[in-house]
């Protein structure tokens, strides 16, 4: 057998494997929701907040390819975990499609937690219709704003920024007067750079979809620009958690990267 024939056979086999993986990723893996439970080390965590459990749902991308059932399954999975606090990480629809704004918010409406449900906006969300729909369904949307919570007799601040809020000076303005225990809710995990510079203990993000398509040897090619593609990251004294999210973008396929909702337990660093 010639070298050319061997290479041709290898290419055909690779193409067949990729096609098979794509079909599996479309028919099954993009719906194979996982519950990710992680313990996050947090600097300056008050003793009373040790063991606090935060539920994180992000990147639902309600659309033609992400159904009500996909989102409802994520909501039911998180509610079964009974988190103390719930955070929504943005990108509730795809490309700002207004036809799905209200359905997306309604699918998230059953979410409830003792210390509230809070949301931020992603790059696919508009500044008006999406936050209004979420607010009508019980979500407090933090749009470049801060809110203070009293949790187990401890003070904790949530700072939520839009995807387009990137300058450190703008984030610093929101942080002025914040409690030592502050969580930055930022759709884009690249905001870890600014959070570390501002000494923010914890950042919760999405946006990457975990890469969505993770290939053997090559990894998550589409998400290499992010400091952490999925899971826990750190910079200086700031901890980051990035969720793989629920929905899909560009192509309705996940490969080696199933959707998830996350339950995050805080502990002292």
Residue 12 belongs to what domain range?
3-268
Task: Report the distance separating Cα 159 and Cα 152, nearest Å.
Answer: 19
- Asked whether residue 7 carries a pLDDT value surpassing 60, the answer given is no
pLDDT value at position 69?
A: 97
Q: Whole-prediction pTM value? A: 0.92
Query: Is the Cβ–Cβ distance between 94 and 61 less than 8 Å?
Result: yes
Domain count of the chain?
1
Query: Is the Cβ–Cβ distance between 181 and 150 less than 8 Å?
Result: no
Cβ-based neighbour number of residue 244 at 10 Å: 26
More confidently predicted of 221 and 164 = 164
CATH of the domain at 17: 3.60.21.10
Q: How confident is the model at residue 15 (pLDDT cuts 50, 70, 90)?
A: very low
pLDDT value at position 1?
A: 52
Task: Report the distance separating Cα 50 and Cα 42, nearest Å.
Answer: 9
- Asked whether residue 209 carries a pLDDT value surpassing 70, the answer given is yes
Q: How confident is the model at residue 223 (pLDDT cuts 50, 70, 90)?
A: confident
Task: Report the distance separating Cα 106 and Cα 196, nearest Å.
Answer: 35
Cβ-based neighbour number of residue 212 at 10 Å: 26
- Asked whether residue 43 carries a pLDDT value surpassing 50, the answer given is yes
- What integer is the mean pLDDT of 54-67? 98
Q: How confident is the model at residue 2 (pLDDT cuts 50, 70, 90)?
A: low
Task: Report the distance separating Cα 110 and Cα 47, nearest Å.
Answer: 31
76: CB partners within 8 A, 6+ apart: 110
- What integer is the mean pLDDT of 211-218? 94
pLDDT value at position 24?
A: 86
Query: Is the Cβ–Cβ distance between 246 and 259 less than 8 Å?
Result: yes
- What integer is the mean pLDDT of 172-201? 98
- Asked whether residue 221 carries a pLDDT value surpassing 90, the answer given is no
Query: Is the Cβ–Cβ distance between 151 and 181 less than 8 Å?
Result: no
Q: How confident is the model at residue 19 (pLDDT cuts 50, 70, 90)?
A: low
- What integer is the mean pLDDT of 86-97? 97
Task: Report the distance separating Cα 213 and Cα 174, nearest Å.
Answer: 35
Cβ-based neighbour number of residue 218 at 10 Å: 10
């Amino acid at each position: 057998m010639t070298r050319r024939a061997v290479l041709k056979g290898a290419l055909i086999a690779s193409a067949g494997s990729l096609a098979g993986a794509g079909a599996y990723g479309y028919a099954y893996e993009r719906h194979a929701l996982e519950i990710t439970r992680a313990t996050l080390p947090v600097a300056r965590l008050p003793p009373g907040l040790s063991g606090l459990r935060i539920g994180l749902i992000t990147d639902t991308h309600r659309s033609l390819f992400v159904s009500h059932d996909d989102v409802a399954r994520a909501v039911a999975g998180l509610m079964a975990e009974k988190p103390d606090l719930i955070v929504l990480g943005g990108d509730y629809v795809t490309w700002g499609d207004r036809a799905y704004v209200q359905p997306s918010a309604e699918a998230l409406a059953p979410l409830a937690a003792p210390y509230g449900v809070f949301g931020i906006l992603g790059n696919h969300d508009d500044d008006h219709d999406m936050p209004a729909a979420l607010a009508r369904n019980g979500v407090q949307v933090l749009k470049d704003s801060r809110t203070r919570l009293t949790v187990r007799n401890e003070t904790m601040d949530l700072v939520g920024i839009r995807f387009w809020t990137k300058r450190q000076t703008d984030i610093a303005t929101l942080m002025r007067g914040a409690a030592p225990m502050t969580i930055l809710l930022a759709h884009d995990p690249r905001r870890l750079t600014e959070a570390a510079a501002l000494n923010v203990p914890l950042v919760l993000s999405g946006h990457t979809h975990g890469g969505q398509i993770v290939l053997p040897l090559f990894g998550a090619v589409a998400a290499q620009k992010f400091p952490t593609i999925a899971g826990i990251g750190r910079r200086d004294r700031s901890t980051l958690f990035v969720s793989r999210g629920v929905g899909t973008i560009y192509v309705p396929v996940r490969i080696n990267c199933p959707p998830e909702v996350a339950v995050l337990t805080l502990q002292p660093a």
